[in-house]
Structure 1
Amino acid sequence: MCLISVDSPQPAYPPSWYASSQPQLPARASLRGQARADVAVLGAGYTGLTAALALAEKGYKVTLLEAERVGWGASGRNGGQAIVGYGCEQDTLEKLVGDADARLLFDFSRDGMHQLKQRIARHGIDCDWRDGHASVPIHPRQERALRADIERMAQRYDYPLEWWDRPRLQQELASDRYLGAMYDAASGHLHPLAYVQGLAGAAEAAGVTLHEYSPVIRMQRDPRPALVTAQGRVDADFVVLAGNAWLQGIAPELETRMMPVGTYIGATQPLGAERARALIRNDMAVADVNWALDYFRLSRDHRLLFGGQANYSALPPPGLRTSMSRRMRRVFPQLADVELEYVWGGYIDITRNRAPHWGRLTPSVYFAQGFSGHGVASAGLAGEVIAEAIAGQSARLDVFEKIPHRVFPGGRALRMPLLVAAMSWYKLRDLLG
């Protein structure tokens, strides 16, 4: 998700609670002149940094170019919920690639979550990791689907999930809105900007050269790939494209298979430890299962972070702070006296089937996009998988490349209006239950 401030002109990082709660680090030098590397990476988010770190640890010389600051986009300002799986359901993957490969993809995702936690521990990244995630139904149809998912994931994927009925859920969550919960103890949440800044520090310690304020304006493809900026260029044996929604003409064939969708997050004023913990007693992350979902969790300084308000046009919705507050109070009426101190928003990158789109454009140009709102854990997995493939072990990337991806219809002019019309139907379905 690449997010754009909706409140005020942007400083080094657009305003958000994340940016205000982290120290302002000195900017890294922009690229000047010509450089040579084994691997050139575009984008200093989770995917680019994890790929760079993994490659540097394998002995590759890596140069990473970031258009703004480390984590300026999705990786520094997302909802912070790290969830096993992908943006699509497992039955979608079964239809796309068959049962055996769908199982492999899910096992890769479980490993991606494990590696995320290992990365945090190994590099001493202070990013407020908390265990636990609950998917909560509003309508009986959604409850039946979640109960079926629990049984299916246990039987077909050996993955343990718990069903909490409404009384059990209300022991942990002070809201009457939901009928129960599918609880995943292996998933959780973190401070996204703290995590991405920690990743950057780990990558540099491993030998990665990182340039900020170095937007790539052109990519030279095979036989000798290169990333070109207004003031320099990096020639390399391999290129990794990790720009997601912000490739901006670098690889048009990727852009046609990805759509930016707006989503927004608010942070309340500090509630105090007692009042905050009364809302979510076990400090888990929570998301409903509507198409245009709400998601929320607590911060380390006892705020409620509340996200949602999906928007399928290019402009932020009017009255955003008011509508976000209304959605928050629909979940927690006891917060009627609480205001949102911060509101920010922007884009997640979705594919038509919500499945991950990772692979190769050429034998030496790799990419990952289409995290569809589930990038905190899976973007790091993408970086690891691409690093393996560059190092000659492409078995996992080969499975991801089996996933078929169609272009969004309508071209640049019509694809957004067509998506708006289609998504309006899903919102109506959520409303009617």
Structure 2
Amino acid sequence: MSLERTILNGYESSYYTDSANSKAEYPALQGEEVADVCVIGAGYTGLSAALHLAEKGYSVALLESEKVGWGASGRNGGQVAPGHNMSHQDLIGKVGRQAADSLWNMSLESVDLVKELITRHQIQCDLKQGILHVAAKPGHVAEMRETVAYKQDVLGYDKIEFVPDAEVQAMLGTERYFGGEYWKEGAHLHPLNYVLGLAEAAVKAGVRIFENSRVTEYSTGKNAQVQTAAGIVKAKFILLACNGYLGKLEPRVAGKIMPINNFILATEPLPEELCRRINRDDVAVADSKFVINYFKLSGDNRLLWGGGENYSSKFPADIGSFVRKYMLDFYPELKDLRLDYGWGGTLAITLNRMPHFDRVDDNLFVAQGYSGHGVALATLGGKLMAEAISGTAEKFDTFAKVPTPTFPGGTLLRYPGLVAGMLYYSIRDRLS
């Protein structure tokens, strides 16, 4: 097993690719295809949209520049969490109480949707229950207690509870974390096996998937078409589901998102006693740092730890060592564990950390910028685009009403501004 970046069957090496259930391959686009809808991007958004459209009777061609799940959908921490990065109170100020309530309810729907798809399509992806959001500093505990009370008392949500310091420390075997909020209905999974399962379900429903088919350009309007190096798709609708890999394909929405890189390591399999000591209840954990740490146990008892970011086109030379220091900040006793894998991926964030949904032209839709909530919200985003195309756009439009600021300077100057901002927050993370 190597910690160097290598390519295996079209995927960058990771624990996920080595434990993938499916080795399915799909052809590259050659010549002309005709479809009701052309979806660009075979991650959670694109596959969910394609699957739901096919189930509604639409013909769908899905184009992927690399492999199914090659991007963030096949590389992330696998947490399936309710809620949004923007508080319900702040959303009320942006869109009003009715829309804020709808957005909250749709976050719950997104988690239920992931579970329903896994059950209905019998996707084997190590699905487990429970997410624990913990305070990395004592000063963060009071706010967590307040947010739990707000969800219980104002939103009437009883599937979350506040966990005091002592219980968090008993659950996680460390005194370096403090109080937290426990999402009982939250879940975690093997993200690549989930996305591969969605692809299999989509194909069974009639979707035509084309891998290694990078889109070079497209046109909308009455005679919409999507062009690759070797083929063309003529369609009535186009869905952009590229997220952090959008690049310059659609300048009108590119400035709404910022691609950033996040990194994960996987240790050797751990003995059961150690698993129970550092994660007694086998939950997924995320902390309250701005550049968060998150971790969970894999199906074969490896510790998967995510930590650290960068904002360039390059990954660290040794990703395992890069992430290891974040793990040891909280579990120094794990210093002798062997690291079997280290990998990274690119996700897209927005300035307000809310997803960006938009109808760019009459027949061009986009959903992107999930800002760390992609497993659940991207799955829902695909479903909502399918509903909008089929004539039920209310939920899609509710997301679209949330203002999504363009990064200052657009795509040209967004990186310097983001790096300066992230430096400020990283310094604040280190202060007690």
Q: Which residue of 1 aligns with 2:4?
A: 7
108, 127, 130: which one pairs with 2:125?
127
Give the aligned partner of residue 344 of structure 2. Answer: 345
Distance 2:321 2:194 in 1: 30
Q: Which amino acid aligns with 2:230?
A: Q
Deviation at residue 86 of structure 1 after TM alignment: 2.6
Q: 3-state SS of the aligned residue for 1:261?
A: strand
Q: Distance in 2 between matches of 1:230 and 1:87?
A: 38
CA deviation after TM superposition for structure 1 residue 180, in Å: 1.6
Look up the SS of the partner of 2:67 in the other structure.
Answer: coil
Q: Is the 8 A contact 2:407 2:414 kept in 1?
A: yes
Tell me which amino acid in the other structure corresponds to 1:392.
Answer: G
Match of 1:35 in 2: 33
Structure 1 residue 226: deviation in Å? Answer: 1.6
- Residue 44 of structure 1 corresponds to 42
Instruction: Give the 3 Å change call, closer, same or farther, for CA 6–425 of structure 1 in structure 2.
Output: farther
Q: Does the 8 Å CA contact 1:6/1:345 hold for their aligned counterparts? A: no
Instruction: Report if aligned partners of 1:313, 1:420 keep a CA contact under 8 Å in 2.
Output: no
**3-state DSSP of counterpart to 1:343:** strand
Question: C-alpha separation between the residues in 2 aligned to 1:155 and 1:222?
Answer: 48
**Separation of aligned partners in 2, 1:108 and 1:392:** 18
Distance in 1, Cα, partners of 2:145 & 2:192? 34
The CA distance in 2 between the partners of 1:279 and 1:162, in whole Å, is 20
Aligned to 1:220: 219
Structure 1 residues 217-296: aligned runs within 5 Å? 217-296=216-295
* Structure 1: unaligned runs, 5 residues or longer: none
* Match of residue 195 from structure 1: 194
**TM-score after normalising by structure 1:** 0.96
| Partner residue, 1:390 | 389
SS at match of 2:172: coil
The equivalent residue for 1:419 is 418
CA distance in 1, matches of 2:317, 2:335: 21
Kept in 2: contact 1:86–1:378 (CA 8 A): no
Residue 173 of structure 2: aligned partner: 174
Q: Which range moves more in the overlay, 217-226 or 300-309?
A: 217-226
Q: Note if 1:336 corresponds to 2:335.
A: yes
d(CA) in 1 for partners of 2:407, 2:142: 31
**Which of 17, 20, 33 is the aligned partner of 2:18?**
20
Q: In structure 1, what is the Cα distance between the partners aligned to 2:90 and 2:317?
A: 34
2-structure distance, mates of 1:346, 1:389: 30
Shift of 1:23: 4.4
Contact 1:263 1:345 in 2 (8 A): yes
Q: Relative to structure 2, which stretch is displaced further, 244-253 or 61-70?
A: 244-253
Question: For the residues of structure 2 that align with 1:322 and 1:125, how far apart are their CA atoms?
Answer: 33
What residue number does 2:431 align with? 432
Q: 1:299 is aligned with what amino acid?
A: S
| Matched-pair contact (CA < 8 Å) for 2:295–2:305 | yes
The answer to whether the Cα contact below 8 Å between 1:222 and 1:364 also exists between their aligned partners in 2 is yes
Task: Determine the C-alpha separation between the residues in 1 that align with 2:349 and 2:255.
Answer: 11
Q: Judging changes above 3 Å, is the alpha-carbon distance between structure 1 residues 215 and 288 closer, same or farther for their aligned structure 2 residues?
A: same
Q: Which residue of 2 aligns with 1:146?
A: 144
Structure 1's 317 and 95: CA in aligned 2 closer, same or farther, altered over 3 A? farther
Contact 2:259 2:349 in 1 (8 A): yes
Aligned residues: CA RMSD:
1.6
Q: Aligned equivalents of 1:412 and 1:40: distance in 2?
A: 26
For 1:29, give the aligned amino acid: P
Q: Secondary structure of the equivalent of 1:354?
A: coil
**Which shows bigger deviation, 45-54 or 305-314?**
305-314
Q: Cα offset for 1:52?
A: 0.6
* Alignment equivalent of 2:67, drawn from 66, 69, 85: 69
Q: Distance in 2 between matches of 1:91 and 1:370?
A: 21
Q: Distance in 2 between matches of 1:133 and 1:6?
A: 28
In structure 2, distance between residues paired with 1:272 and 1:140: 31
Does structure 1 retain, via aligned residues, the 8 Å contact 2:162–2:182? yes
SS at match of 1:167: helix
Partner Cα distance (1:315, 1:99) in 2: 42
